[in-house]
């Protein structure tokens, strides 16, 4: 790892959230973390200098891209300096002493509850109960232990709040991954990860037939490999689109630089969101 | 409207959910509705013949594409026969007699609560409380009225459960829209809407540099306008991608047919998800 900054990191959710697991994967276990209620708070914490890093979910294999965070990336313009994927594995967690047969309620975020439907079908005496956060539900149990209540959250959350995992991987779909970006205010020599360099960018075109095709040509002519492309209608501008593109290569590489120059000629707006190496 | 089928329609969530509002926009107020707990249940209801139509959210301006429903579209292969957009407007709803100054709690789905943060900042005495569903929170209040509790949900939910809207449009972002598809088992002459024809398709390519570029050429060469393109990594197949494309035109039109034939030559898999006219 090439970073030299103190590993202070902001993320959305409670300690033990999947964003927190991503922060540890990206920066190691020895971090000073700042849990934030909202994504905007995470960006503001980085802006104000409270932290040197921020970890944000950017897309999920079931739920798609987090456009809200793309909006914030464009607004705050902090460069991406790392990337990782976290598998969303849900566990049934209790405070020590609670037995499986005692459980009548399981607390978690409704999205997580909804991803464990098979578990609830098989265990009809356990009622799913909505809570504001997955890790927060374990935290709550650790503060006031309830003998008939479990929480559904990550393994990390179980560890942090001294919970006990009674059932592992109770999610219906094992192929549920969230991709996270690591952001920093420092642009140079602050990179984590060891995979092949990737670059993320955003650009917009008017929707003349073929405008996207010409934009794609900038990459294809240089044999650059794209790993993501996504269009998004521009608010209040019918027929204009914002595109998100990820490609293999570093923004400093000359083929990428040439492609970006070429792209600037034929689009209204191009922004490099960062070059980074994946952490596996 | 060209449909002749009885307007029985399945959707996910409680009556009054945004999917229900979409169903009414698409099929008129005179529908027989079947609320379902999950998206899969909605597809199963259509498959089993319990309903003639299904309404499914496919993307949201803040939260991106609902990949889960794209997966179901590919699996069940019901054609899309309509499309509409619904603005996600949140309202503070109480049972008649409850005054604003009495409210101490507001129930809703955490995603909705999180979209009303400014409201909660300004009204600190009102505590946000997680619930499994937006419309479900109004339904619950209608069943056991609580003098200090409100729900946050759609105007439709307020009407259905005889709630009273005390504050309208308390969402932070007015530009929050969800796009819905109407599905049917009938392929011919079952279309709603009156906008210009659109066609949605899915295809996959190996990620040779330029594979996407060649695919795009099929449309660009025929001056076909794309309104959406999105890549999605194929599970368990590194470097292979599924693409979602929407274009202006009908799959029966000869330029679209030619483009599709051309696309089939240079991709592994092409599926037309349907041609439909938007309902505004």
Quick: pLDDT tens for A107-139: 999 889 989 999 999 999 999 999 989 999 999
B231: nearest CB among A212, A219, A230: A230
Cβ–Cβ below 8 Å for A229 and B225: no
How many whole angstroms separate alpha carbon A206 and alpha carbon A202? Answer: 14
Q: Considering chain A, what percentage of its residues have pLDDT values greater than 90?
A: 75
Question: Do A61 and B67 make contact, defined as CB atoms within 8 angstroms?
Answer: yes
Chain A interface, best mutation among B231, B246, B263, by max A CB count within 10 A: B231
Pinpoint the residues of chain A covered by CATH 3.40.190.10.
Answer: 8-86+176-184, 91-167
- pLDDT higher than threshold 50 for residue B15: yes
Average pLDDT over residues A95-111: 95
Q: How far apart are CA B81 and CA B83, in angstroms?
A: 7
Q: Inform me whether the pLDDT recorded for A189 exceeds 90.
A: no
Contact A220 B207 (CB under 8 A): no
Where does residue A42 rank: exposed (0-12), middle (13-18), buried (19+ CB within 10 A)? buried
Specify the fold of B8-87+176-184: D-Maltodextrin-Binding Protein; domain 2 (3.40.190)
Instruction: Report the residue of chain B nearest A108, measured CA to CA.
Output: B130
pLDDT at site A229: 92
- The average pLDDT across A6-25 equals 94
Indicate which residue of A178, A199, A205, A279 is catalytic. Answer: A178
Residue B247: its chain A contacts at CB < 8 A? none
pLDDT reading at A34 higher than 90 = yes
- Judged against a pLDDT cut of 70, whether residue B4 lies above it is answered with no
Taking an 8 Å cut-off on Cβ atoms, the answer to whether A61 and B235 are in contact is yes
**Domain A91-167: CATH class, spelled out:** alpha beta
The B198-206 sheet, strands edge to edge: A269-276, A198-206, A240-248, A226-233, B226-233, B240-248, B198-206, B269-276
Measure A70 CA to nearest chain B CA, in Å.
9
Return mean pLDDT, chain B.
Answer: 92
Residues forming CATH 3.40.190.10 domain(s) in chain B: 8-87+176-184, 91-167
d(CA A125, CA A128): 10
Query: What is the per-residue pLDDT for B2?
Result: 44
Distance between CA atoms of residues B22 and B182, nearest Å: 9
Q: Does the domain made of B198-279 have the CATH classification 3.30.70.260? A: yes
Flag if B130 and A110 touch (Cβ within 8 Å).
yes
Closest CA to A141 of A123, A164, A122, A119: A164
User: By a Cβ cutoff of 8 Å, what residues of chain B touch chain A?
Assistant: 37-38, 59-68, 109-111, 113-114, 117, 128, 130-133, 175, 207, 209-210, 212-213, 216-217, 219-220, 223-231, 233, 235-236
pLDDT in tens, B108-166: 998 899 899 999 999 999 999 999 899 999 999 999 978 999 999 999 999 999 999 99
SS (H, E, C) B74-100: HHHCCCEEEEEEEECCCEEEECCCCCH
Active site residue A269: no
pLDDT tens digits for range A202-232: 999 877 678 888 899 999 999 998 989 999 8
For A64, the closest of B65, B225, B228 (CB atoms) is B65
Percent of chain B with pLDDT over 70: 96
Mean per-residue pLDDT of chain A = 92
**What 3-state DSSP class applies to A154?**
coil
**End-to-end Cα, chain A, rounded Å:** 13
ipTM over 0.90: no
List residues bridging with A99 in a β-sheet: none
State how far the Cα of B155 lies from the Cα of A48, in Å rounded to an integer: 39
- Which residue, B23, B29, B67, is CA-closest to B45? B23
Q: What is the set of active-site residues of B? A: 178, 180
pLDDT tens sequence across B172-186 = 988 889 999 999 987
Res B188: pLDDT: 64
Distance from CA of B66 to the nearest CA of A (A): 5
Position B1 scores a pLDDT of 46
C-alpha distances in Å from residue A181, one per residue of A198, A230, B160: 12, 17, 42
Q: How far is B131 from chain A (nearest CA, A)?
A: 5
Distance from CA of A270 to the nearest CA of B (A): 18
Cβ <8 Å between B225 and A209: yes
Residues from chain A that touch B235, judged by Cβ atoms under 8 A, are: 61, 175
Indicate the pTM of the whole model. Answer: 0.89
Closest alpha carbon to B222 in B253, B245, B200? B253
CB contact under 8 A, B132 and A109: no
Confidence of residue A1 (pLDDT cuts 50, 70, 90): very low
Minimal Cβ distance to A67: which of B37, B62, B66 = B62
- Minimal-distance CA residue of chain B relative to A57: B63
A224·B230 Cβ contact <8 A = no
- The average pLDDT across B64-69 equals 91
One CATH from 3.40.1350.10, 3.40.50.720, 3.40.190.10, 3.90.1150.10 for A8-86+176-184: 3.40.190.10
pLDDT category at B191 given cuts 50, 70, 90 is confident
3-state helix, strand, coil in chain A (%, to 5): 30, 35, 40
Least confident interval from A27-36, A51-60, A75-84, A239-248:
A239-248
Question: Which pLDDT score is estimated for A188?
Answer: 64
Judge: B66–A64 Cβ closer than 8 Å, yes or no.
Answer: yes
| CATH 3.30.70.260 domain extents, chain A | 198-273
- CATH number of A198-273: 3.40.50.11610, 1.10.3720.10, 3.30.450.20, 3.30.70.260? 3.30.70.260
């Amino acid at each position: 790892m090439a970073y030299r900054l103190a590993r202070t990191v902001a993320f959305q959710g409670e300690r033990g959230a999947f964003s927190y697991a991503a922060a540890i994967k990206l920066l190691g276990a020895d971090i000073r973390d700042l849990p934030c209620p909202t994504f905007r708070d995470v960006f503001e914490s980085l802006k104000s200098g409270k932290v040197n890093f921020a970890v944000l979910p950017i897309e999920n294999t079931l739920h798609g891209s987090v456009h809200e965070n793309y909006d914030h990336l464009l607004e705050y313009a902090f460069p991406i300096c790392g990337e990782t994927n976290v598998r969303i594995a849900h566990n049934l967690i209790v405070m020590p002493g609670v037995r499986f047969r005692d459980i009548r309620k399981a607390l978690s975020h409704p999205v997580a509850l909804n991803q464990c439907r098979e578990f609830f079908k098989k265990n009809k005496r356990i009622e799913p109960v909505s809570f504001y956060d997955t890790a927060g539900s374990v935290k709550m149990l650790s503060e006031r232990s309830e003998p008939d209540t479990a929480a559904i959250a990550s393994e990390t959350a179980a560890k942090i709040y001294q919970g006990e995992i009674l059932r592992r991987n109770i999610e219906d779909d094992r192929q549920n991954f969230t991709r996270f970006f690591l952001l920093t205010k420092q642009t140079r020599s602050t990179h984590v990860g060891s995979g092949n360099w990737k670059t993320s960018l955003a650009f917009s075109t008017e929707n003349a037939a073929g405008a996207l095709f010409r934009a794609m040509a900038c990459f294809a002519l240089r044999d650059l490999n794209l790993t993501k492309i996504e269009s998004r209608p521009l608010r209040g501008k019918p027929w204009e689109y914002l595109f998100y593109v990820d490609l293999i290569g570093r923004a400093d590489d000359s083929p990428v630089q040439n492609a970006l120059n070429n792209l600037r000629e034929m689009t209204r707006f191009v922004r490099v969101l960062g070059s980074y190496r994946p952490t596996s």
